[in-house]
Amino acid sequence: MKRFWGRSVCLVVVLSTLPVASATGAASANRLQKMFYLKGIFSDRLVCYFAHRPSFDLQSAQSSGKRKQATIAIQTNLDTAICKDALERCNAPKNQTYHLSVANEAGCMHIAVAYDPQKIGIDCRRITSKNDKHGIIVQFNHKKRLGRLNERSNPLHRLASGTRTPHIVIDCGHGDSDTGTIGCGGVQEKEVNRSVGMHLASLLRKRGYNVFLTRKDDEHVALEERVLFANREISGDLFVSIHANAAANVKASGIETFYCSDSVFSDPLFTDTPTELSEKSNSFARDKGQASQLFADYVQRSVLDTLATQQYRVNDRRAKQEPFRVLLGTDMPAVLVELGFLTNEQEAQRLQDTQYQSALAEGISRGIASYVKFVQHA
């Protein structure tokens, strides 16, 4: 890990990958597969996934004026359409502390970040998921917000303190033209998610919680907007994303609950964030991951127990880790519940049944209530 501080230093980071030989012996360049941008309370994140593992070469150079610039160059086949949405979100007029640009030069993608070093510190790490194994994450740390982070301002402590009625954010996955999985009999995942999510919202309100939904109708809401809504508009205490599963194996069945912990990140490949603030950021990510894992365990166990009392036999696929976008970006304990497999004929039929949907919602509601009670009385 290298550190560079001071206004006179510009950080130039070069990422490159060795071409990978195909079965015919021909070399193929790395390929950018995904790019997205997530806005948090204390840090914003640009995440890129590639076909192959990128390597890093770090250099220092001079900067001019009060701004620094980091340049990340990656040997890759660049589809600028993949970058378009992330760049538009990052470079919105309200964001004056840093600016991102992406260019394609001679088969190499250059990500240039110009930023105010008095306000922003940058970290770069690797990130690995089950489906996307070769990722990098560039994190923009807001120095003032991290500097003020203490027990009172920490959203992870707010729920435990009981100083306000818990704010629960329910995310009904997909919507509008994004149907999600289309399962047996033509059932659409977006409809199952919304129906269970609305049941859940009603149950949680009866328990006295403040409930907010990322979507109420059959509408498109980008994943980044769901994260922004939970983090900055609502300042949520807990986040629950509702989904239904799919698999090529039509016999696959069961319920699973996902969370994201800091173990998906490598140590910083480079950073120019002061040590004290880096430690605060790392501690927050670690605590959020641990809270999310515990939250996922409560929800998974409660859903299965509730279904069992109503004579439903369901395969327990357990709580698992995966850095789904809404879990990676939210600054509160967050889980994603996969209610069952729409590609399994029996589960597809169940998931369309209102009584079964109500049982699922009741199970999630009980899991949330149990987790809140544990945290507030620990």
Token pair, residue 50, equals 């590639």
Average pLDDT over residues 111-132: 86
CATH 2.60.40.3500 at 2-147, yes or no: yes
pLDDT band at 26 (very low <50, low <70, confident <90, very high): very low
CATH 3.40.630.40 location in the chain: 155-263+287-377
- Ramachandran bin of 108, using left for φ above 0, alpha for ψ from -120 to 50, beta for the remaining angles: beta
The pLDDT assigned to 124 comes to 87
Q: DSSP letter string over 206-248?
A: HTT-EEEES-SSS----HHHHHHIIIIIS--SEEEEEEEE--S
Q: Which helix (H) or strand (E) holds 359?
A: helix 354-377
pTM here is 0.91
More confident residue, 25 or 303: 303
Q: Is residue 269 within 8 Å of 229, Cβ to Cβ?
A: no
Is 155-263+287-377 in CATH node 3.40.50.620? no
Contacts of 215 (CB under 8 A, 6+ apart): 171, 172, 175, 194, 221
% of the chain exceeding 70 in pLDDT: 88
Mean pLDDT of 282-298: 97
DSSP 360: H
**pLDDT confidence tier of residue 65, bands split at 50, 70 and 90:** low
Q: Highest-confidence range of 29-33, 62-66, 275-279, by mean pLDDT? A: 275-279
The average pLDDT across 198-213 equals: 98
pLDDT of residue 267: 86
Predicted pLDDT at 7: 40
Q: Which of 8-17, 57-66, 108-117, 174-183 has the highest mean pLDDT?
A: 174-183
**Residue 63: pLDDT band with limits 50, 70, 90:** low
Q: In the predicted model, what is the mean pLDDT of residues 201-222? A: 98
Q: How confident is the model at residue 98 (pLDDT cuts 50, 70, 90)?
A: confident
Give, in order, the Cα–Cα distances in Å from 132 to each of 173, 273, 296, 339: 20, 27, 22, 23
So what's the pLDDT on residue 56? Answer: 59
Task: Tell me the mean pLDDT in the region 26-48.
Answer: 83
What pLDDT is stored for residue 131 in this prediction? 81
- Between 63 and 298, the higher pLDDT residue: 298
Mean pLDDT throughout 237-259?
98
Of the two residues 360 and 71, the one the predictor is more confident about is 360
